[in-house]
């Protein structure tokens, strides 16, 4: 079977040279952490797409919203000399594995399909290593979102907050109305997701200096102290049972009207859609107040390990090709809540929140305000990220008397992790 691709009316070369070669493609064993309802529904789009090409799917799910448990399981498999066919991976985890020299090479399919022309440079920084494609990006998630129950917002005055003061006013009114204002799960990556947005609200230059350049004065300065003070304020709107709660359960609180809003990446939208909720009618999506025009992102990518056997390599190539198909990118991301990793995918099938997400991404990509998310492993290596997590979670749990103390602790922790 030959796979021919058309781009702007011109035929490209065939990816697979013969029926016999394609028939040798084996099943794919896929390690991932997409286990919630919305995530599983999105993953089925990929499974069905591959099944239609005659490639079976061997599932290896490892629960855990941030992927830490999955990376632990992966380490054990690689150490045993038996890596999976493909692994869902984020940001600097990809960089780390690439530097170990254990990843495969997707240059043939990437060149045939012109990935370099349609994938934003900010994503390619993780999709490629030493100018070779090692991963296929499935999507772009942006993290600086707020998801608001529409009925709860209407009861609190009806106006979506655009500034910090307006946000606090809405949260106060929701509290007065007898619901939990802020649905949240007390896990380090979730705490860091909120803090990510608070720092971004201080400006993209500030965010870059703090979380990408790791400037000590920025990390320990007055503006960082102010961001921590605001984090401490937000903790006052979270219920006392938040510790250890999974993110999708916090989403369910908003969906069910038990909580007013959730500050979470756009994967949360998948939970709302899975529950049959409609943007604008049942829930409202806004950028975290003060961050419109900028996007902190993470990108789920399927990394291909260096496997033995032509059949396994062909399965990897076909999976990568399926992932990067514009048709799949649209179908998958409509369900997942994210936006396509390709810039040439139409937004016709996306809901209002999806259209906004795609427009925001295009604007940020053009303006240089598309920034890797600290909270989701796209701003700095794991050791630094985890050091930041410790301080942010400590601040969320009252370990510091004020923002200034937390900021100093942050500067010290990052210095120690480098």
Residues 104 and 162 in one domain: no
- Are 233 and 105 members of one domain? no
**Claim to verify: residue 258 and residue 396 sit in the same structural domain:** yes
Q: Please tell me whether residues 163 and 252 are part of one structural domain.
A: yes
- Is there a single domain that holds both residue 120 and residue 14? yes
Residues 22 and 120 in one domain: yes
| 104 and 183 assigned to the same domain | no
Q: Say if 351 falls within a structural domain.
A: no
**Domain-embedded: residue 402:** yes
Tell whether 114 and 200 lie within a shared domain: no
| Confidence (pLDDT) at 25 | 60
pLDDT at 142: 95
Q: Is residue 410 part of a domain?
A: yes
Residue 19 lies in a domain: yes
Residues 332 and 280 in one domain: no
pTM: 0.85
Instruction: Please give the pLDDT value at position 16.
Output: 31
Domain residues for the domain of 13 are 6-137+301-337
Q: pLDDT at position 251, please?
A: 98
Task: Give me the pLDDT at residue 65, please.
Answer: 65
pLDDT at 19: 30
Cβ atoms within 10 Å of 186's Cβ, excluding its own: 17
Distance CA 128, CA 108 (A): 13
| Residues 52 and 107 grouped into a single domain | yes
Q: Is 31 within the bounds of a domain?
A: yes
> Which domain CATH number covers 323?
3.40.190.10
Number of domains in the chain: 2
pLDDT at residue 67 in the model: 82
Give the pLDDT confidence score for residue 22 in this predicted structure. Answer: 38
Residue 346 lies in a domain: no
Q: Is residue 349 part of a domain?
A: no
> Domain check: are 305 and 285 in the same one?
no
Low-confidence residues of the chain, pLDDT below 50? 1-24
| Position 358 in a domain | no
Same domain for 56 and 155: no
């Amino acid at each position: 079977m030959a796979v021919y691709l058309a781009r702007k009316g011109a035929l490209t070369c065939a990816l697979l040279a013969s029926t016999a070669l394609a028939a040798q493609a084996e099943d794919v064993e896929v390690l991932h952490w997409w286990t919630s309802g919305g995530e599983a529904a999105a993953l089925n789009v990929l499974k069905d797409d591959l099944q239609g090409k005659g490639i079976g799917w061997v599932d290896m799910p490892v629960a855990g919203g941030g992927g830490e448990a999955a990376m632990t399981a992966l380490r054990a498999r690689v150490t045993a000399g038996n890596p999976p066919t493909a692994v869902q991976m984020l940001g600097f985890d990809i960089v780390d594995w690439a530097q170990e020299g254990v990843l495969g090479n997707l240059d043939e399919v990437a060149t045939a399909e012109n990935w370099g022309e349609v994938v934003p440079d900010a994503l390619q920084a993780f999709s490629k290593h030493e100018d070779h494609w090692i991963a296929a990006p499935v999507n772009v998630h942006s993290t600086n979102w707020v998801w608001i129950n529409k009925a709860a917002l209407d009861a609190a005055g009806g106006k979506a907050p655009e500034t910090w003061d307006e946000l606090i006013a809405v949260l106060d009114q929701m509290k007065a109305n007898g619901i939990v204002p802020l649905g949240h799960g007390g896990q380090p990556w979730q705490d860091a997701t909120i803090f990510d947005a608070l720092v971004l609200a201080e400006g993209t230059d500030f965010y870059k200096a703090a979380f990408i350049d790791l400037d000590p004065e920025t990390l320990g300065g007055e503006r960082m102290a102010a961001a921590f003070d605001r984090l401490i304020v937000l903790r006052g709107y979270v219920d006392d049972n938040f510790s250890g709660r999974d993110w999708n359960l916090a989403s369910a609180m908003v969906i069910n009207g038990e909580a007013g809003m959730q500050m979470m990446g756009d994967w949360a939208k998948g939970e709302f859609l899975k529950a049959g909720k409609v943007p604008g009618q049942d829930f409202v999506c806004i950028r975290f107040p003060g961050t419109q025009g900028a996007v902190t992102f993470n990108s789920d990518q399927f990394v291909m390990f260096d496997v033995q056997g032509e059949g396994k390599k062909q399965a990897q190539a076909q999976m990568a090709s399926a992932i990067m198909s514009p048709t799949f990118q649209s179908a998958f991301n409509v369900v997942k809540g994210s936006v396509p990793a390709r810039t040439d995918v139409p937004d016709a099938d996306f809901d209002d929140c999806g259209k906004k997400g795609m427009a925001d991404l295009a604007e940020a990509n053009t303006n240089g305000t598309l920034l890797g998310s600290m909270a989701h492993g796209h701003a700095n290596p794991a050791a630094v990220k985890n050091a930041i997590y410790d301080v942010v979670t400590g601040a969320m749990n009252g370990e510091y008397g004020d923002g200034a103390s937390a900021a100093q602790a942050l500067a010290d922790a990052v210095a120690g992790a480098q």
